[in-house]
Structure 1
């Protein structure tokens, strides 16, 4: 858990001194912004930890009501559009959101993750992955592998956030 705490701290450090407007800026060719990256990482961590507690059904909450991953793969325009909009908004700071609020939510997710992992008796315990176009049929994930994925995702996005920060005002978190 120390590696995850270190990656989280690196991500949050990229926003120190930014105001809400700067935290929502997308200064590169993509749509990424520092605050949106924190939102995305919090959501990803929360989803994967929910998976570890409740199994594959816990990950279907990301889909529009009544839509399965198979529906999305087959794709009617309405379902795909709704899912893409929700997913894209996970990377942005929306009107009314503040950097302090985004960080507070991330800290709440982190605290729940710490509690959940502390209560897991076996890091080798597995759940089948939900059916989705990007998961191999019948694949499973252990708690340990999910944690490694969350650590990697957090560290990767901390690097993205550092580039964004340097582009916004010339500063970096290091």
Structure 2
């Protein structure tokens, strides 16, 4: 594989587009994370406001409600931390490769070029990695987040079922001891 004017011009035109698409995707991903943080801060502020100046029973109830509301948001944020680090690290590597390909192809075009096969391979690998990142990262992130949401829904359903069972038992009154006991 050797550099050609057509290939270098294609790389110079395509690499920034991949970079832009990826940057927009990463911005949306970061925006969702920031929204989660703001929601958590809002829950804490509401809990603090409800607890301020109240009697001990009101304060305990406000803390309990805040904990109930904050726990799922916090659990989601913590479980996504490894995924976030991986996504941001992978994107940083892809951006570095795209920058090298873009710079190399523009330099090749500006200097009249040659037959650098190493640069041609770098450009090819960078573009493929960029295409892979902008197509697969959103799919992987969405899949992981959906799996975590399903898990949380199952946990909530189990908690609701346990609460309903406890409520039915309390409404049924004290149970009678089994016969023969």
- TM class by shorter-chain length? 0.3 to 0.5
TM-score by structure 1 length?
A: 0.38
Report the structure, 1 or 2, having the larger helix content: 2
Which of the two has higher C-alpha Rg? 2
